[in-house]
Structure 1
C-alpha cells in the first residue's frame, strides 16, 4: 500500500459529491455495472497520477482501433493496412496515448529490444508463433508466422483479436516509460486462462515505482471475475465499486470479527462469489442447494433475474452471509439475504441485522420494543421455557413425543438447536401442543405469543433486506420428498429429486401452485424487472389500428389487398408482429377487422377484433 491524495469530481455523475481516497494498492480494481462512470473515473485517475513522480498511461476498451482485420477503423485519419509510416512514429505514439489506443505498442516493440524478446518468448513457447517487424516501402508492418506450418501473415489482417490484445497489453505493461497503467476491460477477447496469465504478469510488475523504478501502479477496470484476484484483506481494500448516481465506494476499515471470518473465507473466495462486485442487487444464500432451486424456479417461470442486475450467490454459511452483508453495506451495494430460520438465534448474520438501523426502526415504529436484539432475546426465553416443559413431561400424543425426543437428543450447550426445534414444533404442530397442555393456560398464551412475535421479527429482518424461511430451511418447501420438519438429514438426495422434478416441469401455473409459499418469499427477496413486451406491442398495435381506421374513413382502403398495398398502413413492416386474419369493409365505410399477434412475442394465442368505433386510446389486448 502507498499514499497519494486523490480528489475527483464528475458533476455529470455525482452532482456536488467528490470521490476522495488516500491509501492505494499496487493493483487497484474498478468494478460496477455498465453505465456507472468507470471509464470517466479512469480518465480522471490518469490525470491525477500524472504528477509527483508518476507517469500514467490509459488504454481504453476500444484500444485495438487501427489493428482491425478489415481496416474499417480509422487511426489518425488513415488506415493502418499498410503498416505504420516510419516518418510519423512520434505522431502515432502521441495520438495513441491521447486516445487510449494500443496500436503504438507495435512501435514500442520496434524500439525496445528488451520488450520484444519477452513477447517473442511468449509467442514461441505458448502459441508456437513468431513476430517479425518488417519494414516495407517506408512502413513498419508486423508479420506473424506459424512455426509449425511456416505460413506468414500480417498481424492486423490475419491474427486473432486475443493475441493482438495480449501482445499489446504486455508491451505496455513491460514499457519502462510509464509507471502507472490503467487497463480498461483487459479481459476483452482473452480466454479465461490467458486473463489469469496476464494477471500473473501484472503481479510480477506491480509495486511502488517511487521506491523501485522497475515497478508500476496498476488500475484494472473489469467485468471479469477472473481479474478480481483477492488473496488478502489488503486486496479487498483495493476494489473501487461504482454504482448508479453515487461516488465509487471502497472498504477502508473492518472490525476484528469481520477480519477473522474473512481471513478464513478468502481461501474459498471463487469466481462465483466475486459476482457481487459487478451486481447492483446481489442476493446471497447459504448453500448451493438454495442457489440452484431458486435459480431453476425463476428460469422455469420465465423470469430473467439478470435484468435487474441481480445474481444469486451461495456463500456457505450464516457467518459468511453476515460478512457479505457487512461488505455490501460498507460498499453501499443494495444486497439481499435469504437465510434459514436458525439465523434468528445465532451467527454473524443475526448480529449485523441487530445492528442495522432499519431493523431497529421497524421494531420501534411498530410498538414492538426498543431494539431487535432484546426482542429476539425475549423470544428465546419463551422458547427455552417451553422446551424445558416438554422435556420434563410425558405425552400421549405421538407428534409431541417425537418433538420431545428431538429436544432430548441435543446436549446441554446446544441451546440454539433446542430453540430452533421448539420453534419448528410450534409452527408445525401448534394445535397438538396446545391440546397436550390444555390444563396450562400460560402455554397457550406463550405459543400464540411466539407465533405473533416471530411474524414481527421476520418483518424486522425484511426491513433490512433479509428474508428468512419461516418454515425453517428451503428443504421444508420441497414437494417431491417427505421431509421431516425436525430432521433435515438427507439433503443431497432430496435436493437432487427436487432439482430433477423442476427441470422436467413444463407448466408455469403448476409450479406457481406447488411452490406458492416458497415463491412468495423469493419474489420479495430477489429484485425483478418485468420486460413489458406486451405493453410496447400494444402501443404499436393501437397506432396501426388508427391508421387503418383513417385509411378506411378516407376510402383509401376497401379490401384486404388495399390494406396490404397501402404505404401508410405499411403492412409489410407490421406483419413482423401481426397477421391480418379478416377485413370486411361495408359501403357506408363501417368495417370489421381481425388481426392476430405473432406468438414469438407473446406466448399465447391473441386475436384482436376492431372496427370504426374502436377507441385506440382505451384499447387493451
Structure 2
C-alpha cells in the first residue's frame, strides 16, 4: 500500500446520508474547521472504512471528551460537594480485552497495564521531560494508576490528582505507540494541553505517522483540531494534507495535488515563511489580508470600536509582508475554499491591476454589475478605467502637483523609484483626499473629477467582491495623531493611533476611518449584537396584554399578573408599575446591556411603537 490513498465513505448530515471523499497524502491528515463544521462526524464515519487500509491492524478512535467518566474523580460533577480523589479508577480488569474499542483514555491506560514495552516508552518520556513517573496498579480487579514526582521527595498519589494535561498526553502517547493499531483518529488532540505540550505531541505523531505494515509501528493518523500548534507546514506538499471543513452539509475542501498555483515560486517562498498568524488564517473562512503590522494594530482598534467581532464571525487579520504578495496569498486561500478579503494600500491599484484581476476574473456578480455600466465584463471595465487613469495622470500631473507633491507617496519616494509609478500613486491618493471644489480649482476641464467618479464606481464594485483599497494612500494616511508621512517607528505610531481610536466616539471613527471600517464590516459579515433587539420581542409579548389591562383601569398587581400569565417566569425580567395614569416598565436585570429603561407609557400611546422605538 502506497500513499496517496483516496478514501470514499458515507457520512450523516441533517439531510441524511452523503458521500464524501478525502485523500491521504502522507501519514498525518488534519481536519480544520470551526465548531459545527462536521469534523467529528467525518472522523466517526472514517472509523468504519479505515480497516481496509491498515494491513490487518486495528482502527482506534479517540473522542474529544476522552477523559470521560474519570472526571467524576476530579471534579464535583453532580454539585453535591466533595470529590473522591483517592478512589479514582480507570475501570475493571474484565474490560481490558476491549481496550481498542474504548473512545476514552481508559482504553489507553489498559494498554499501559497490558503492554510493558509501551509503558516503558511512556515512562521514559515522563521521567526525562516532565519529572514524573506513572505506576500501573490493579486493586481488587480495578485499574488504579499512581503517579510520583521525581523532582522532590513525595509519596505516590492518585491519578485523579495529576494535571489533566498530563493524563491526556499519557493516553495519547500510549495510543500512538500501540503497534496493534494501524489507523488512529483523534478528535482535538490539543485538549487540555499547554502549547509546548501540543508541539511535543505533534512531533510524536509525526514520528509514527506513515503506512502501516507488518513489523512496523507506522499508522495512518487523522486528527481534527482547532490548534495552530497541531499544524505543521514547512513545504508546499504539506498543504495537501489539510482538509478544510466549513459546514457539515457541504463537501470538505482539499487543495488538488495538481493545482498549478502550488508550483509558483512565490507560493513556495510564502509557505517557507509561514508564521503563527498565517496558521491562524487557516482556521478562518474569510481571512482579512492587510499590508503589515501597523495595519493590524489600527484595524484591531477599529474592530473593537465598531464591535465588529472579526474572529467570532470567522475572519482573521493576516499581515502580508512584501509588495506583490497579496494576489498570491489570496489565490492560495481560495484553493483552500476560503473567501479572502483584502485591504490594500492605494499603490495596490495605482501600480497595476494584478490584485484587481484576482478578484474580478470569474466573478459573475461583478460581471453583472459591470454589464449595467455598459462593459463586456468587470475585468474589461477595470482595464479600461485603469488605462484612462494612467493617461489622466500624465496629462494632469503638473496641474495637480501643488497637492500631489505633498502626499507621502511623493514625499517619501526613493531616488531609484520609477517616477511614473510614484506619480500614479500620489495622484490617485490625492484625488480621494480632496473635495470637489479643491479638484475643480486645479482642473477646470473636469477630467479629474470624472476620473474620480469612474474610479469610485470601480472601487465600489471591487468592494462587493472583497477587494478594498485605502483610497488616501497607506494606513498612515488616515492617522489623526502621528505624522502621515512617517516612515520610521511605524508600529509605535500605529500604537499611538490605537490609543486615539479608543478615546474618540464611534461617530468620529466612522468619519475618519470610513474606508477601513467598510472593509472590516465586510470581512466580519455579521449583524451587530443587540441585546435590546432580543429583549424587544419578549417585552412586546408581555407588555401588549398588560397594557390592555392597564388601559381598562387595572392595578399594578393586575398588570403584573397578566404579564406573568403570558411569559411565565420570564416575566421576572420586567417590573411593571402604575404611577398615576402612566404605566412604568423597568428591567430588573443588571446583566443585560440596555439603556432605554425605565419606559413610561401613557394610556393614549401606541404600545408597539413606543417599545419598538425605545429598543430599536
Q: TM-score, normalised by structure 1?
A: 0.84
Cα distance in 2, alignment partners of residues 408 and 199 from structure 1: 47
Whether 1:472 and 2:473 are equivalent positions in the alignment is yes
Corresponding position of 2:254:
250
Q: Deviations over 1:288-307 (max 9, x none)?
A: 22222122112123333334
Q: CA deviation at 1:164?
A: 0.8
Q: Is the CA contact 2:360–2:378 (under 8 Å) kept in the aligned structure 1? A: yes
What is the 5 A alignment of 1:444-463? 444-445=446-447, 447-463=448-464
Cα distance in 2, alignment partners of residues 193 and 613 from structure 1: 67
What is the 5 A alignment of 1:187-336? 187-210=190-213, 213-244=216-247, 245-252=249-256, 253-256=258-261, 259-336=264-341
Q: CA deviation at 1:467?
A: 1.5
Cα distance in 2, alignment partners of residues 350 and 105 from structure 1: 54
CA 400–202 in structure 1, closer or farther in 2 if over 3 Å, else same: closer
Corresponding position of 2:529:
531
Q: Is the CA contact 2:67–2:104 (under 8 Å) kept in the aligned structure 1? A: yes
- 1:89 aligned residue (84, 88, 96): 96
Corresponding position of 2:359:
353
Q: Deviations over 1:117-142 (max 9, x none)?
A: 11111221222221111122232211
Corresponding position of 1:418:
423
Corresponding position of 1:583:
578
Corresponding position of 1:150:
154
Q: Which SS does the other structure have where 1:458 is aligned?
A: helix
Q: Is the CA contact 1:32–1:38 (under 8 Å) kept in the aligned structure 2? A: yes
Q: CA deviation at 1:481?
A: 3.3
Q: CA deviation at 1:88?
A: 3.4
Whether 1:541 and 2:539 are equivalent positions in the alignment is yes
Corresponding position of 1:337:
342
Q: Which SS does the other structure have where 2:68 is aligned?
A: coil
CA 416–57 in structure 1, closer or farther in 2 if over 3 Å, else same: farther
Cα distance in 2, alignment partners of residues 414 and 218 from structure 1: 56
Cα distance in 1, alignment partners of residues 274 and 473 from structure 2: 27
**Total equivalences in the alignment:** 594
Corresponding position of 1:595:
585
Q: CA deviation at 1:507?
A: 3.5
Cα distance in 2, alignment partners of residues 458 and 171 from structure 1: 57
Q: Is the CA contact 2:470–2:515 (under 8 Å) kept in the aligned structure 1? A: no
Corresponding position of 2:372:
366
Which segment drifts farther, 566-575 or 455-464? Answer: 566-575
Cα distance in 1, alignment partners of residues 184 and 219 from structure 2: 7
Cα distance in 1, alignment partners of residues 352 and 530 from structure 2: 42
Q: Is the CA contact 2:90–2:109 (under 8 Å) kept in the aligned structure 1? A: no
CA 570–264 in structure 1, closer or farther in 2 if over 3 Å, else same: closer
Q: Deviations over 1:221-277 (max 9, x none)?
A: 001111111111111111111112311001014325763222212233122222222
Q: Is the CA contact 1:32–1:278 (under 8 Å) kept in the aligned structure 2? A: yes
Q: Is the CA contact 1:466–1:525 (under 8 Å) kept in the aligned structure 2? A: no
Q: TM-score, normalised by structure 2?
A: 0.85
Corresponding position of 1:608:
599
Q: Deviations over 1:140-190 (max 9, x none)?
A: 2111122313222221x2222111100000000000001211110001000
What is the 5 A alignment of 1:378-397? 378-389=384-395
Whether 1:12 and 2:44 are equivalent positions in the alignment is no
Q: Which SS does the other structure have where 2:233 is aligned?
A: coil
Q: CA deviation at 1:456?
A: 2.6
Cα distance in 2, alignment partners of residues 434 and 510 from structure 1: 28
CA 210–118 in structure 1, closer or farther in 2 if over 3 Å, else same: closer
CA 187–347 in structure 1, closer or farther in 2 if over 3 Å, else same: farther
Corresponding position of 1:495:
494
Q: Is the CA contact 2:127–2:133 (under 8 Å) kept in the aligned structure 1? A: yes
CA 382–553 in structure 1, closer or farther in 2 if over 3 Å, else same: closer
Cα distance in 1, alignment partners of residues 495 and 291 from structure 2: 17
Cα distance in 2, alignment partners of residues 387 and 552 from structure 1: 71
Q: Which SS does the other structure have where 2:105 is aligned?
A: coil
Which segment drifts farther, 123-132 or 306-315? Answer: 306-315
Q: Is the CA contact 2:4–2:25 (under 8 Å) kept in the aligned structure 1? A: yes
Cα distance in 1, alignment partners of residues 538 and 333 from structure 2: 42
- Unpaired segments ≥5 residues, structure 2: 79-84
Q: Is the CA contact 1:307–1:528 (under 8 Å) kept in the aligned structure 2? A: no
Corresponding position of 2:113:
110
Q: Which SS does the other structure have where 1:18 is aligned?
A: strand
Q: CA deviation at 1:363?
A: 6.2
Q: CA deviation at 1:596?
A: 2.2
Cα distance in 1, alignment partners of residues 498 and 31 from structure 2: 37
CA 408–282 in structure 1, closer or farther in 2 if over 3 Å, else same: closer
Q: Deviations over 1:426-447 (max 9, x none)?
A: 4346766765565xx5xx43x2
Corresponding position of 1:31:
32
Corresponding position of 1:140:
143
Corresponding position of 2:81:
none
Q: Deviations over 1:174-233 (max 9, x none)?
A: 000012111100010000100000001111111222487221111110011111111111
Q: Which SS does the other structure have where 2:316 is aligned?
A: strand
CA 483–258 in structure 1, closer or farther in 2 if over 3 Å, else same: farther
Cα distance in 1, alignment partners of residues 352 and 424 from structure 2: 11
Corresponding position of 2:82:
none
Cα distance in 2, alignment partners of residues 260 and 212 from structure 1: 40
Q: Is the CA contact 1:187–1:224 (under 8 Å) kept in the aligned structure 2? A: yes
Cα distance in 1, alignment partners of residues 262 and 563 from structure 2: 73
Corresponding position of 1:588:
none
